[in-house]
Amino acid sequence: MKTVLITGATSGIGRACARIFAKNSFKVIICGRREDRLSELQDELSQRTEVHSLLFDVSDKQSVTAAIASLPPIFSNIDVLVNNAGNAHGLDPIQNGSLDDWDAMIDINVKGLLYVSKAVIPGMVDRKKGHIINIGSIAGKEVYANGNVYCATKHAVDALTKSMLIDLNPFGIKVGAIHPGMVETEFSEVRFKGDTDRAANVYKGLTPLSPEDVADTIHFVVSRPYHINISDLVILPTDQASATVVNRK
């Protein structure tokens, strides 16, 4: 039975991933900062598989290292790492951007992904196998007005994915990124700091991806035979052609 570790499993894409991997007989390690959500999800998934919860902030390197080191032996050989935790904070032109928002995005989306990877990779290197999936974004392939720092963090995820693929190639480790377009999750609520009306407007008049659509694709990527590595995949709603071209009814 394989083990998957998913960051940001308390909501959206990460939670949908936890559910699909549990359904497909993976042992699942679910991570996030919201304890109530982790324990609710652990109760739900424990009906299907073995589940372990890790409560930590990906941007706190000591907590990341301690959490991964605390894994009990039956969960410690991680076969698949889904680096999903992340968010956009704010949508402002560069001249008006908040330093706190910038710090949060860089610390979580980039440094957090690195801290978790750094803690998980040595085991994969020792075992000469493993699969790392980084969740990028269409914002990592293109930039759009006011997206500045969020786009920069997702471009960094794209660059780090390509670098990891090269560095880990001698060890037989698969690395790839999934870059979604618009997915209706708590993402826009977080970006707009709890303004649910503004968040709902983002998806008005179009059919966005659901978190389950993205999780299903991630599971497809992970379930290919070991000699196949899908290294870069963009997934958009049919109503979206690029970061800025959207067909709203």
Residue 243 binds ligand 8X3, judged by CB under 6 A = yes
Closest to ligand 8X3 by CB, 71 or 243: 243
Give the other-Cβ count within 10 Å of 241's Cβ.
12
Q: In what order do the strands lie in the sheet containing 80-83? A: 51-55, 27-32, 3-6, 80-83, 130-135, 173-180, 232-235
Applying CB under 6 A, which of residues 6, 31, 116, 138 lies at the interface with ligand 8X3? 138
| Binding flag, residue 214, ligand 8X3 (CB under 6 A) | no
Tell me if residue 84 falls in helix, strand or coil: coil
Q: Using CA atoms of 203, 177, 129, 211 in order, give the dihedral in degrees to the nearest 10.
A: 0
148 binds ligand NDP, rule: CB under 6 A = no
Instruction: Report the residue from 9, 119, 139, 175 that binds ligand 8X3 according to the rule CB under 6 A.
Output: 139
d(CA 180, CA 111): 20
Q: Which does 243 bind (CB under 5 to 8 A by kind): ligand 8X3, ligand NDP, none?
A: ligand 8X3
Structure tokens belonging to residue 102? 């910038």
Is 150 one of the annotated active-site residues of the chain?
yes
Among 26, 75, 102, 187, binds ligand NDP (CB under 6 A): 187
Interface residues with ligand NDP (CB under 6 A) are 7-14, 32-34, 37, 57-59, 84-87, 108, 112, 135, 137, 180, 182-183, 185-187, 190, 211
